[in-house]
Structure 1
């Protein structure tokens, strides 16, 4: 399985369109594998654009942000 760190160093970016109201607005669920994708990281976006990809393997030292509030 592929880890996010296997894809190279972070490639920060910003989604196009209007400004985001909170951190949760930067994530979407991949239609192929269902994994949450952070649109601010170009590595993740490009990985999830590949047809028939697998989810990225979780990394033990990665920080996962949980959003519990509603919009």
Structure 2
């Protein structure tokens, strides 16, 4: 399993519909830990899909 301190390199993704008008639409708030999740970064999405996970370190998270 990936360590919290080393999630690896960013895995960028693209929206099928193109970029939204509002940058905030690229983020959702995790229901487990309350941290913003950038849906364009697959490693963040996968991390936050794990039950009972801890928040990622702030330097690894792009905030809206």
5+ unaligned residues in a row in structure 2: which ranges? none
Query: Structure 1, residues 46-71: CA drift from partner, whole Å, max 9, x if none?
Result: 00000000101122xx68545xxxxx
Contact 1:13 1:41 in 2 (8 A): yes
* CA shift in 2, pair 1:49/1:23, >3 Å: same
Map 1:12-51 to 2 at 5 A: 12-16=12-16, 18-19=17-18, 20-51=20-51
5+ unaligned residues in a row in structure 1: which ranges? 67-71
RMSD over equivalenced CA pairs, Å: 2.3
Q: How many pairs were matched up?
A: 61
The structure having more radius of gyration, on CA atoms, is: 1
Picking from 1, 4, 23, the partner of 1:2 is 4
Following TM superposition, the consecutive aligned residue runs of length 4 or more in structure 1 with deviations greater than 3 angstroms are 62-66
Contact 1:15 1:40 in 2 (8 A): yes
Tell whether 2:15 aligns with 1:11. Answer: no
* CA shift in 2, pair 1:40/1:58, >3 Å: same
